[in-house]
Chains A and B, each alone.
Chain A
């Protein structure tokens, strides 16, 4: 009979382990997009939540409802209250060694980018960073990805063949919708023992987070960004914050503005900063260097205000206004209020 002639034996179903990241108990929104990408592999997806006893239960409660997860592991230890690659790598190594996992997935946060390549190297496998699409072929056990290279000026299509037993990749959140929650979902949730690390070479001392009431830059639907012409931190804030406020937007900055100290480093948009793709990106006094465009050119609508009519930003802007930003921005705010 035709049904029996179908051959399932050689095809091993993919099983992804997704490192679900949280900051002090708040799940990183990029992890939700990474989960969507992991689900597209077409097999099981096991989540991993690691942290202190203070945060893990809250995070587990939230993430176990996430659509696409088929099971969830969590590991709790004081050792994990400050998440260091040196303490987390042995846990991942233990989970992955001789396991059934075929893929390791995460969002490219600063922690995951520090941790996953370390683990991949220990397991002697390569890793693919910041993918924008993927396709898994179960019959050949290979996964094909696309990812931007050269600051997004070329798109590379790469394949991890079956010779790579565990395929590590990070997912660019702006290319995948966040996985929704399903209240009715019941999945297997299991605790795994932490792995003790003797004589850890690294010790966490302190953390300083820039406080802001605005939406998080990497997930905001609207972003207002400023560049070097904004003179100083006071002018930067005084000019852009009212515009961001009226639009309910996050504030971003060009490298020039960050280097000059007008804005916090974590607000830098570009190849080496955050990659954003909001519905609306307003570039105020930003010339549009290759490195900046790399971080925002997938925005749905780009609006640019710049004095220089030849600024490269106008080549990508849907709406460009050649004007002095100090005159234009207050007028835009005024007119938006009407």
Chain B
């Protein structure tokens, strides 16, 4: 019998359950937040993160190197386990659910980053994490901070807004193409490292029914913030949430002539 191959790569993918991107959200009457009794799904950038982890494994297994272990992770109320099942159905091997009460306020990026750091340190005892792949932002709070904060806390290299990730297992680094203002750049980052995903990184797959069934049998480890000795108490006070000012649009014109007249009346002429 062949000896089992050495551990190659251990990837952690934090995912967030968020209001589905297609839902037109409504601010609640108390102005404390938005109505959350709507369709939720995995944050789109996190789907890209899971997909990238799975593709990394597929690429490496084609080259004959195995295994890659992919652990999905979420912090959220009981329902967030659905999001973990989606990640497992896409190809993650196991999952960790840091459960918080339904009534708990939404964790902030710093709290989330500290929780992920605690898990990374816990993992170190058995299989050190080589790479954490996160979405570049969650489409609910639109803060876009967690990956960078985690990199800061761990003192790891970070490749944010990744549109391409190429691994060099021998040298234990990755060359990442990043989307930047006005173009792109390449950086080489040593393992262990943080990647945050841009839209252009990949096209996430749909989980097939057999994979969804299989995902139900994959292990999900439950933990509490207290188990990890972290606090998710918000430091930013939300005073209120309001509707944005309504734009009164909808005025249609019948012809190009009318359109150009309106442009010119508003002072927009040829330069």
Q: Give the interface centre of B136, B189, B236 by most chain A CB atoms within 10 Å.
A: B236
Contact of B25 among A126, A153, A163, A332 (CB under 8 A): A153
Q: Find chain A residues with CB under 8 A from B144 CB.
A: 113, 117, 129
Q: How many A-B residue pairs have CB under 8 A?
A: 260
Given contacts A117-B148, A155-B242, A206-B186, 20 further A-B contacts (CB under 8 A): A114-B160, A117-B145, A117-B146, A121-B150, A128-B143, A151-B139, A154-B244, A158-B239, A201-B189, A201-B193, A203-B187, A203-B188, A207-B184, A266-B179, A290-B21, A314-B250, A317-B250, A321-B252, A321-B256, A322-B252
Q: Smallest distance from the beta carbon of A84 to chain B beta carbons, Å?
A: 7
Q: Does B121 belong to the interface (CB within 8 Å)?
A: no
Contact of B148 among A118, A128, A316 (CB under 8 A): A118
A222→B24 CA distance, assembly (Å): 28
B185→A207 contact, CB < 8 A:
yes
Q: Smallest distance from the beta carbon of B39 to chain A beta carbons, Å?
A: 14
Nearest first, the 5 A-B pairs at minimum CB distance are A201-B157, A121-B149, A248-B271, A118-B152, A117-B145
Contact of B149 among A117, A144, A201, A317 (CB under 8 A): A117
Q: 1/0 per position for B239-271, CB-CB distance to A under 8 A?
A: 111111001011111011111101110101111
Q: Smallest distance from the beta carbon of A251 to chain B beta carbons, Å?
A: 13
Spot the interface stretch: A33-41, A70-78, A96-104, A297-305: A297-305
B152→A150 contact, CB < 8 A:
no
Contact of B153 among A121, A150, A317, A336 (CB under 8 A): A121
Contact of A303 among B150, B188, B263 (CB under 8 A): B263
Q: Find chain B residues with CB under 8 A from A124 CB.
A: 110
Q: Find chain B residues with CB under 8 A from A317 CB.
A: 249-251
Contact of B251 among A121, A247, A279, A319 (CB under 8 A): A319
Given contacts A118-B151, A202-B158, contact A264 B237 (CB under 8 A): no
Q: 1/0 per position for A268-303, CB-CB distance to B under 8 A?
A: 000110000001100000000011000001000111
Q: Find chain A residues with CB under 8 A from B151 CB.
A: 85, 118
Given contacts A321-B253, A331-B256, contact A154 B139 (CB under 8 A): no
Q: Smallest distance from the beta carbon of B93 to chain A beta carbons, Å?
A: 26
B199→A158 contact, CB < 8 A:
no
B236→A159 contact, CB < 8 A:
yes
Q: Find chain B residues with CB under 8 A from A178 CB.
A: none
A128→B247 CA distance, assembly (Å): 26
A290→B152 contact, CB < 8 A:
no
B156→A149 contact, CB < 8 A:
no
A291→B152 contact, CB < 8 A:
no
A272→B199 contact, CB < 8 A:
yes
Contact of A113 among B160, B241, B250, B256 (CB under 8 A): B160
B256→A149 contact, CB < 8 A:
no
Closest Cβ neighbor of A264 among chain B residues: B183
* Binding site secondary structure of chain B: mixed
Q: Does B170 belong to the interface (CB within 8 Å)?
A: no
Q: Give the interface centre of A259, A265, A290 by most chain B CB atoms within 10 Å.
A: A265
Contact of B244 among A152, A159, A247, A264 (CB under 8 A): A152
A66→B210 CA distance, assembly (Å): 62
Contact of A164 among B24, B200, B235 (CB under 8 A): B235
Q: Give the interface centre of B22, B150, B237, B243 by most chain A CB atoms within 10 Å.
A: B237
A21→B152 CA distance, assembly (Å): 21
Binding site for B on A (CB under 8 A): 23, 84-86, 89, 109-111, 113-122, 124-130, 144, 147-161, 163-164, 200-210, 222, 246-248, 255, 259, 264-266, 271-272, 279-280, 290-291, 297, 301-303, 305, 309, 314-323, 328, 331-332, 335-337
Q: Smallest distance from the beta carbon of A85 to chain B beta carbons, Å?
A: 6
Closest Cβ neighbor of A145 among chain B residues: B236
A150→B34 contact, CB < 8 A:
yes
A149→B262 contact, CB < 8 A:
no
A76→B189 CA distance, assembly (Å): 24
A328→B256 contact, CB < 8 A:
yes
A248→B267 CA distance, assembly (Å): 13
B241→A320 contact, CB < 8 A:
no
A164→B235 CA distance, assembly (Å): 8
Q: Smallest distance from the beta carbon of B29 to chain A beta carbons, Å?
A: 13
A195→B140 CA distance, assembly (Å): 37
A206→B176 CA distance, assembly (Å): 11
A202→B190 contact, CB < 8 A:
yes
Q: Smallest distance from the beta carbon of A262 to chain B beta carbons, Å?
A: 14
Closest Cβ neighbor of A316 among chain B residues: B249
Q: Find chain B residues with CB under 8 A from A118 CB.
A: 148-149, 151-152, 158
23 contacts between A and B (CB under 8 A): A110-B178, A124-B110, A148-B244, A149-B140, A150-B25, A150-B34, A154-B242, A155-B241, A156-B240, A157-B242, A158-B238, A164-B235, A201-B157, A202-B190, A204-B185, A222-B268, A266-B179, A280-B263, A302-B247, A317-B251, A320-B249, A328-B256, A332-B256
